Amino acid sequence: MFIATLFDEQIIKKKGYALKNLAYDSAITLASIYGTKIIEGKTHYEAMCFAEKIARKIINTTLNTPINFSTIWRKNSNGSPLNVTLKIQELEHKTFWYRFLNKISFSTPEISSSANLVQLVKNKIIQYLGGDNKAIKKKGLYDIVTKNGVKCIENLRFITITKVVVSMNTKSFIYTGDQSIREIKSELGNIMCNILNSTPSYDTHRHIMFEDSHLNYQQARRTHKLAVRDYSKYTKYVMHNNRGSHTYDKWLKESNSNQENLVSNQHYVLLFEDSRDNDFNDAMYEISYKYVYKKISMPINLKSSIFNKKNCS
């Protein structure tokens, strides 16, 4: 009988190990799915509830029976979740040989596992392809940030490398003047944070062409998007048909497949115009995106930072 009962004990131990692994895998699942859903634009509550729904399905399918589990989401000072702990309740396991010793079942203790949340961060890749305008002396980048409800230009800078990986709020500009960044900022003045209410007439603004039309002199449009597959065709077209102006408009009329609403927002060529002939080949950038994993640091005092999440429907 003693040897027989060892069989029951081994089974219980194996189930215990399996539950620990399941709890660990489920916590990782909660963390990764949460990050993915946040990138998709879901709220914290929506992302957490969706992650719990998937984790519940995994646990119930693996154990082949519905069980209860709880989650504790911990947050930072801004209220954003940072860590999740999954707890599987105490489970009862029936025995075979031990029942002859009046021991009908064994219980495995509550099992918990934690995982730091990992967010998928979307980065923008900007690669300069070339251009057909010697008047463009410098190329640069700028960031759009919101201050007190107003969109502002920040971190205006020139670049010399042809390929950069930047954040999603980074845009491009071209410059045909001779000033330094400091001089440009000084002359643009309140345009940096008040462009829509400004009517600048100074020469500096005429020499800088922003990707965002509302930032440009007289709010003129200086960019168009082109499908990557059409880049070679378009450059050849401009080379052979650039007589007069509005070459880009002529290209659209002759090639209906290149309408901008058909261009992928995930991978395209950004065409710049310096405001002269509207051929939109003065500077050209390939724009693409990639996701990278970003670890979220943990707060020092976890006990005081529990996210009080509403019950998921």
pLDDT tens string, the chain, 313 residues long: the values are: 444 444 445 555 566 567 788 888 888 888 888 877 877 778 888 888 998 899 888 888 887 777 778 888 887 766 677 788 888 876 555 554 444 444 444 566 778 888 887 666 788 999 999 887 778 889 999 998 887 777 778 889 999 989 999 998 999 999 988 888 888 887 776 567 765 555 444 456 778 899 988 788 778 889 999 989 888 888 888 887 765 577 788 888 777 655 655 677 889 999 998 876 778 888 999 999 987 766 665 554 544 467 666 677 6
Please, what sign has the CA dihedral across residues 136, 141, 146, 152?
A: negative
Q: Domain ranges in the chain?
A: 2-117, 123-291
Query: pTM above the 0.75 mark?
Result: no
User: Would you say 279 and 242 are in contact if contact means Cβ atoms under 8 Å apart?
Assistant: yes
Report the pLDDT value the prediction gives residue 158, as an integer from 0 to 100: 94
Residue 140 tokens read as 């640069």
Q: DSSP letter string over 124-161? A: EEEEEEE-S-TT--EEEEEEEEEETTEEEEEEEEEE-S
* CA 304 to chain CA mean position, Å: 29
Report the pLDDT value the prediction gives residue 99, as an integer from 0 to 100: 47
Q: What is the DSSP letter of 230?
A: G
User: Would you say 18 and 59 are in contact if contact means Cβ atoms under 8 Å apart?
Assistant: no
| C-beta neighbour count of 257 within 10 angstroms | 10
Report the pLDDT value the prediction gives residue 217, as an integer from 0 to 100: 78
Q: Which residues pair with 75 in a beta bridge?
A: 81
Residue 47 tokens read as 């992302």
* CA 11 to chain CA mean position, Å: 45
- How far, CA to CA in Å, does 82 sit from each of 48, 51, 79, 85, 296? 11, 14, 9, 10, 6
Report the pLDDT value the prediction gives residue 5, as an integer from 0 to 100: 45
Report the pLDDT value the prediction gives residue 164, as an integer from 0 to 100: 94
Q: What span, in angstroms and rounded, lies between the C-alpha atoms of 272 and 283?
A: 5
User: Would you say 254 and 246 are in contact if contact means Cβ atoms under 8 Å apart?
Assistant: no
| C-beta neighbour count of 40 within 10 angstroms | 11
Report the pLDDT value the prediction gives residue 236, as an integer from 0 to 100: 85
Q: What span, in angstroms and rounded, lies between the C-alpha atoms of 295 and 313?
A: 29
Report the pLDDT value the prediction gives residue 297, as an integer from 0 to 100: 59
